[in-house]
Amino acid sequence: MVTGFVGSFDESINIALYFVGYFVIGGSIVFKAIKNIFHGEIFDENFLMTIATVGALILGEYPEAVAVMFFYEVGNLFEDIATNNSKKSISALLEVKPVFATIKIAAGTKKVDPSKVQVGQIIVVKPGEKIPLDGTVVSGKSMVDTSALTGESMPRSIKENDMAMSGSINQNGTLEIKVTKVYSDSTVAKILDMVQNASSKKAPAEKFITRFAKIYTPIVVAMAAALAVIPPLFTGNWSEWISRALVFLVISCPCALVISVPLSFFGGIGAASKQGVLVKGSSYLEALNNVDTVAFDKTGTLTKGQFEVVKIVPVNGISRQELLGVAAAAEQNSTHPIAQSIVQAYNGDISKFEISESNEHAGHGLSAVVNGKQIIVGNNKAMAGIDFVENRDIGTVVYVSSDGDFMGSIVIADEPKTDASDAIELLHQRGIKSAMLTGDNEVVGRSIAKKLKLDQVYTSLLPEDKVNIVEELLASSRKNNKKVAFVGDGINDTPVLTTADIGFAMGGLGSDAAVEAADIVIMGDEPSKVSKTIRIAQVTRKIVMENISFAIGIKVLFLILGAFGIVGMWQAVFADVGVTVIAVLNAVRLQFLK
């Protein structure tokens, strides 16, 4: 090709070299155009490039034809580099997939595929290995690297009875872990599924570009054909007008839009993943730009969810140990953090209590038969029909009754997360209102709301009450064409997550149901990442709008200049490839967003 440009050979040899160069560089593009025609996809960028360059070859504009293909491939190279860089932060999540699990057997240990391991089996994880399945540590202690899952750079310490999250990397101690979930239900499997399906849910801007390209391309082809045929009927200068039509075709190629807009959203999703936030599709990233209210669940979302019994108030001569023991026996099979705190606070022999008929009642508490007596443990709603003494201490109050007789109350404290106050402040700086929805009593709810400076607080709510409150917030926001986001972590939050315009699940501590129902998952359980994700969404939209405006503006200008013969094939190459490269480089900025 270079020799052809230099022109040191005979003209026929130079022409042959041009054709060789053309097919070496652009052969794949021509092949794609032909293949797409047979599949009914006629009007794409490959078709435009092929028609324009074949026409240039016919007109004897050999260097221009080769140059168009060459620079078009340069543009594709820039796109590939940018896309690969965007994928790096997301592929880091894909790399957490475990290759094997080491299970304990009678003869020692055995390596198997993680999908073959059953719940209850013991797996051994040595230093440097990935934790293949979710489970509870039964032996050993270590530091684990969760950065690929949560975005947190500092390793976490885990020990006996702590939860171990699949996809984490064990650093310095051998762990024995009792598996609590099969591989298909594990944290790492759900992350892989969400990442791999993220591109299927397109933002409105992406859908617009797809529709735009399908309408735009046939129109410009028709305009180019008219430019090649109609003016020569009056002027007779066919060569000049066909040349202008070919220039028109090269300029009209919508590569900058078709490539840069999806790349921008892909970059935004990648930037979020660096923060330990999984966005399930660009449509949710786009929707965040219109959020004016964020509603939070309290326990495990704004607060640590690490409850401690701070006060025991028995009545009618019942001892503190007896009250706590009965409550712990009833709560022992519950996974709720409050229940676990009561069980941990009881230091007696819980096996002396015979328990049966245990039932949880959402928004109230639970009931169980303990040593033959009907025990109810829950909030004031659970005490309906029972003569009980209300406890107004600050904290979560759990009431206990036995066969309809009130036994006393237990006060449990839960502190706000370290970044909860910053989370609310960051939202306020963006002009976004905050609200807290909690099943706790008014004293506890307003105490937390005051500490965090929340705009609104709703207390003593059942799961259906939370849905009703979010629907009210939605009705108010939609009057101004705005949206409402909800942030929660528990199974009780699932209906609210699906009701809100955008649902955030706190993935690390969150329930499987909440993670499944949410549109965005915060792996590190940090509420401040809600605001950070909104910022990423805003920057993403800004870059998308810049690229759309720039690409369309340059295209229109050069199409007019090309039609009047003011610009030629070389300028057309800039209008196509140059604009594409600039738009791609602009989209790449998202990869450096922090």
Q: Residue 149 is part of a domain; what is its CATH number?
A: 2.70.150.10
Residues sharing a CB contact under 8 Å with residue 234, sequence separation 6 or more, in sequence order: none
Q: Is residue 97, in this structure, part of any structural domain at all?
A: no
If asked whether residues 296 and 354 sit together in one domain, one would say: no
Domain termination residue (choose one: 354, 386, 413): 413
CB 513 within 8 A of CB 529: no
For residues 192 and 260, the model is more confident at 260
Residues sharing a CB contact under 8 Å with residue 324, sequence separation 6 or more, in sequence order: 309, 312, 342, 345, 346, 410
- Predicted confidence (pLDDT) at residue 83 exceeds the cutoff of 60: no
Of 274-288, 498-512, 519-533, least confident by mean pLDDT is 498-512
pLDDT of residue 155: 75
Secondary structure string (H, E, C) spanning 291-322:
EEEEEEECCCCCECCCCEEEEEEECCCCCHHH
CB 123 within 8 A of CB 144: no
| Active-site residue, 414 included | no
pLDDT of residue 585: 82
Q: For the chain, what is the radius of gyration of the CA atoms? A: 32
At 312, list the tokens.
């025991």
If asked whether residues 6 and 85 sit together in one domain, one would say: yes
Whole domain around residue 488: which residue ranges?
Answer: 282-304+416-518
If asked whether residues 548 and 426 sit together in one domain, one would say: no
pLDDT of residue 375: 93
Q: Which residue has the tokens 């390209």?
A: 213
At 10, list the tokens.
């005979």
CA atoms within 13 A on the CB side of 372: 0
In the predicted model, what is the mean pLDDT of residues 193-213? 57
Among the listed residues 299, 309, 368, the one whose alpha carbon sits nearest the alpha carbon of residue 340: 309
pLDDT of residue 374: 93
% of the chain exceeding 70 in pLDDT: 83
pLDDT of residue 430: 93
If asked whether residues 57 and 124 sit together in one domain, one would say: no
pLDDT confidence tier of residue 508, bands split at 50, 70 and 90: low
pLDDT of residue 196: 52
Report pLDDT digits (tens) over 541-556: 999 889 888 888 888 8
Strand bridging mode 175-179 / 122-125 = antiparallel
In the predicted model, what is the mean pLDDT of residues 253-272? 76
If asked whether residues 319 and 405 sit together in one domain, one would say: yes
- Predicted confidence (pLDDT) at residue 230 exceeds the cutoff of 50: yes
C-beta atoms surrounding 447 within 10 Å:
16
Q: Is residue 524, in this structure, part of any structural domain at all?
A: no
At 591, list the tokens.
């990869």
If asked whether residues 257 and 382 sit together in one domain, one would say: no
pLDDT of residue 3: 43
Domain termination residue (choose one: 413, 439, 463): 413
- Type of residue found at 140: G
If asked whether residues 230 and 369 sit together in one domain, one would say: no
Q: Is residue 277, in this structure, part of any structural domain at all?
A: no
pLDDT of residue 535: 94
% of the chain exceeding 90 in pLDDT: 24
CA distance to 30, 434, 454, 481, per residue, from 478 (Å): 49, 16, 21, 4
Domain termination residue (choose one: 413, 440, 475): 413
CB 573 within 8 A of CB 252: no
CATH of the domain at 363: 3.40.1110.10
For residues 426 and 440, the model is more confident at 426
Displacement of CA 272 from its chain's centroid (Å): 7
- Predicted confidence (pLDDT) at residue 6 exceeds the cutoff of 50: no
pLDDT of residue 205: 58
56-60, 185-189, 396-400: which has the highest mean pLDDT? 396-400
Q: Is residue 345, in this structure, part of any structural domain at all?
A: yes
CATH of the domain at 287: 3.40.50.1000
Residues 471-476: contacts with CB within 8 Å, 24+ apart?
Answer: 471/499, 473/293, 473/295, 473/435, 474/499, 474/500, 474/501, 476/293
- Predicted confidence (pLDDT) at residue 202 exceeds the cutoff of 60: no
For residues 276 and 297, the model is more confident at 297
User: What domain count does the chain have?
Assistant: 4
Report pLDDT digits (tens) over 137-165: 999 988 887 765 654 556 778 888 888 88
Q: Is residue 385, in this structure, part of any structural domain at all?
A: yes
- Predicted confidence (pLDDT) at residue 416 exceeds the cutoff of 80: yes
pLDDT confidence tier of residue 197, bands split at 50, 70 and 90: low
45-49, 274-278, 575-579: which has the highest mean pLDDT? 274-278
Of 51-55, 234-238, 324-328, 551-555, least confident by mean pLDDT is 51-55
- Predicted confidence (pLDDT) at residue 97 exceeds the cutoff of 50: yes
Strand bridging mode 373-378 / 122-125 = unpaired
Report pLDDT digits (tens) over 282-330: 888 899 999 999 999 887 789 887 778 889 999 988 999 999 999 999 9
If asked whether residues 318 and 348 sit together in one domain, one would say: yes
The kind and range of the H/E element at 137 are strand 135-139
For residues 353 and 211, the model is more confident at 353
pLDDT of residue 9: 55
Report pLDDT digits (tens) over 321-370: 999 999 999 988 887 778 888 998 998 888 888 888 888 887 788 999 99
CA distance to 114, 351, 509, per residue, from 186 (Å): 10, 31, 13
If asked whether residues 441 and 571 sit together in one domain, one would say: no
Q: Is residue 227, in this structure, part of any structural domain at all?
A: yes
CB 329 within 8 A of CB 336: no
pLDDT of residue 11: 72
What span, in angstroms and rounded, lies between the C-alpha atoms of 492 and 363? 8
If asked whether residues 144 and 26 sit together in one domain, one would say: no
Of 21-35, 90-104, 280-294, least confident by mean pLDDT is 90-104
Edge-to-edge strands, sheet with 456-458: 277-279, 520-522, 502-506, 483-488, 291-297, 433-437, 456-458
CB 455 within 8 A of CB 432: no
Residues sharing a CB contact under 8 Å with residue 351, sequence separation 6 or more, in sequence order: none
Catalytic residue selected from 297, 414, 489, 519: 297
Report pLDDT digits (tens) over 444-489: 888 889 999 999 999 888 778 888 999 999 999 999 999 999 998 7
If asked whether residues 466 and 542 sit together in one domain, one would say: no
If asked whether residues 81 and 124 sit together in one domain, one would say: no
pLDDT of residue 185: 73
The kind and range of the H/E element at 142 are strand 142-145
- Predicted confidence (pLDDT) at residue 520 exceeds the cutoff of 80: yes
Q: Is residue 188, in this structure, part of any structural domain at all?
A: no
The kind and range of the H/E element at 136 are strand 135-139
The total number of residues shown for the chain amounts to: 594
C-beta atoms surrounding 316 within 10 Å:
8
What span, in angstroms and rounded, lies between the C-alpha atoms of 154 and 16? 62
**Taking every pair of C-alpha atoms in the chain, what is the biggest distance, in angstroms?**
113
pLDDT confidence tier of residue 82, bands split at 50, 70 and 90: low
Q: Is residue 463, in this structure, part of any structural domain at all?
A: yes
C-beta atoms surrounding 566 within 10 Å:
12
Compute the mean pLDDT over every residue in the chain, rounded to the nearest whole number. Answer: 81
